[in-house]
Chain A
Amino acid sequence: MALDKTGIAKRIAQELQNGWYVNLGIGIPTLVANYIPEGIDVEFQSENGVLGMGQFPLEEEVDADLINAGKQTITVKEGASFFDSAMSFAMIRGQHVQLTVLGAMEVSQNGDIANWKIPGKMVKGMGGAMDLVASAENIIVAMMHSNKAGESKILKECTLPLTGVGCVKKVVTELAVMEIKDGAFHLIERAPGVSVEEIISKTEGKLIVPEHVPEMKI
């Protein structure tokens, strides 16, 4: 069975390591915060100017002045801090944030990512994504393997305008966990009950498949 969005978030949460500062993008990445493994202490950074993001507020706690980068109302944990946008991106560009998780429309086998524009159709802007992908050492992309038309989004080369080049290290989809290195996707794990053949058939980019591909433990 292919994973749902929650499953993808749960699998990515397993990558979190003690002491990390983590930036989560909008969409599936935001869900990762709900599945931090037992005993792991991480802080979430939101690029609009908060470190130490907590859970969503209770109705009576809602504060218009306290939001995340997705413009959702949030709360902060004890020990949180606020700062301006220049300092926020100093944290990001200066590699003080250990992990970035973000969504993508396309990823290529050399680690390029496209997620901000469909020419002539949709232009929302890159927001902080270009700064994040250009600087983060450790980038995980959370995405669906194919688009709504069934075409692979795991490609030899991106067709959409790029957000960053050669930056993505790992991709988690509803079907698979893949590492990107040496110009290829390397299949690491498959979703429970999903066959290697299905993953191969839905991956347009070069995919290296080892003899044994373990199932994800969700």
Chain B
Amino acid sequence: MNKVVKNVEEALLGIQDGMTLMIGGFGLCGIPENSIAQLVKLNVRNLTCISNNAGVDDFGLGLLLQQKQIKKMISSYVGENAEFERQMLSGELIVDLIPQGSLAERCRAGGAGIPAFFTPAGYGTEVAEGKEVRVFNGKPHILEEALTADYAIVKAWKGDTEGNLIFKATARNFNPMMAMAGKITIAEVEELVPAGTLDPNFIHTPGIFVQRIFQGEKFEKRIEQRTTR
């Protein structure tokens, strides 16, 4: 099945004010840069964004924050972003911080048809407030519910016309689970190839999880902490 759309404009058709979006990436690594730039252009507002981080002030989801397009963020770590911190502390932005492993598993569960699961992470902390606690093997666990999104926007290294995806190195991170959890999943890839080009043995995300795929026009791939020896 051909999933290819012409460009980023066509890929993001249908995204509207007030929707819930999942955005792949860890820090600035493996984020769908072209789609984020298009979201800024579209100026859709009141978004709920599920993403591990919130970018930096002038890149990644930070660009949407600058324009106040985000109403609520669901993330695990939001340091390195002064505008984010300002909006959060002033109450302009609703922020739901959840443990990183729970975030990943909640996305996976959302895509896998598992409505909720028990995890030990967060027991005895603010995160557990209002959540059911059960003891398994003598250890308390809290109930975490699955997450899904109207649109999941992920970034892969290579993809084919069927929507099969291969990620590179640590740019994989949240992208595979979010691809599973989107009602519509948009994949932006560095290299789009014909079906049959990628070895089926090495596909990370099978095309069934991807509804639209396009090759990004350019990738800046900004580095947050360039560390050398």
A residues adjacent to B (C-beta < 8 A): 46-50, 55-59, 62-74, 82-86, 88-89, 92-93, 112, 117, 120, 123-131, 134-135, 161-166
Residue contact B77 to A124, C-beta cutoff 8 Å: yes
Residue contact B121 to A62, C-beta cutoff 8 Å: no
Q: Which residues of A contact B175 (CB under 8 A)?
A: 84
Report the minimum CB–CB distance from B196 to chain A (whole Å): 24
Segment at the A interface, from B8-16, B40-48, B97-105, B208-216:
B97-105
Residue contact B120 to A93, C-beta cutoff 8 Å: yes
* Most chain B beta-carbon neighbours within 10 Å: one of A50, A86, A164: A86
Report the minimum CB–CB distance from B173 to chain A (whole Å): 5
Complex A-B: 7 CB contacts under 8 Å: A63-B169, A86-B177, A89-B101, A89-B105, A93-B121, A112-B124, A165-B124
Q: Which chain B residue has the least Cβ–Cβ distance from A89? A: B101
In the bound complex, CA of A63 to CA of B227 (Å):
10
Q: Which residues of B contact A68 (CB under 8 A)?
A: 170
Residue contact B101 to A92, C-beta cutoff 8 Å: yes
Main secondary structure of the interface of A (DSSP, over half): loop
Q: Which residues of A contact B161 (CB under 8 A)?
A: none
Partner of A71, one of B28, B108, B176: B28
In the bound complex, CA of A154 to CA of B75 (Å):
29
Q: Which chain B residue has the least Cβ–Cβ distance from A76? A: B169
How many of chain B's residues touch chain A, expressed as a range?
35 or more
> Does B201 sit at the interface, judged by CB under 8 A?
no
In the bound complex, CA of A60 to CA of B175 (Å):
27
A123-B78, A131-B121 as given contacts; A71 in contact with B177, CB under 8 Å: no
Residue contact A161 to B125, C-beta cutoff 8 Å: yes
Q: Which residues of B contact A165 (CB under 8 A)?
A: 123-125
Residue contact A70 to B76, C-beta cutoff 8 Å: no
Residue contact A164 to B125, C-beta cutoff 8 Å: yes
Partner of A65, one of B89, B168, B176: B168
Report the minimum CB–CB distance from A158 to chain B (whole Å): 11
Contact pattern, B 74-92, Cβ under 8 Å of A = 1, otherwise 0:
0111111000010011000
Report the minimum CB–CB distance from A53 to chain B (whole Å): 10
Residue contact A85 to B173, C-beta cutoff 8 Å: yes
Residue contact A67 to B29, C-beta cutoff 8 Å: yes
Residue contact B76 to A127, C-beta cutoff 8 Å: yes
Residue contact A73 to B108, C-beta cutoff 8 Å: no
Q: A128-B101, A165-B125 are in contact. List 6 more A-B contacts (CB 8 A).
A: A47-B100, A64-B29, A64-B223, A84-B176, A128-B99, A130-B101
Partner of B100, one of A127, A163, A166: A127
In the bound complex, CA of A72 to CA of B101 (Å):
20
In the bound complex, CA of A46 to CA of B79 (Å):
18
Q: Which residues of A contact B88 (CB under 8 A)?
A: 123
Residue contact B79 to A130, C-beta cutoff 8 Å: no
Residue contact A93 to B170, C-beta cutoff 8 Å: no
A82-B170, A131-B121 as given contacts; A71 in contact with B225, CB under 8 Å: yes
A48-B26, A65-B168, A125-B77 as given contacts; A59 in contact with B173, CB under 8 Å: no
In the bound complex, CA of A56 to CA of B78 (Å):
24
Q: Which chain B residue has the least Cβ–Cβ distance from A57? A: B228
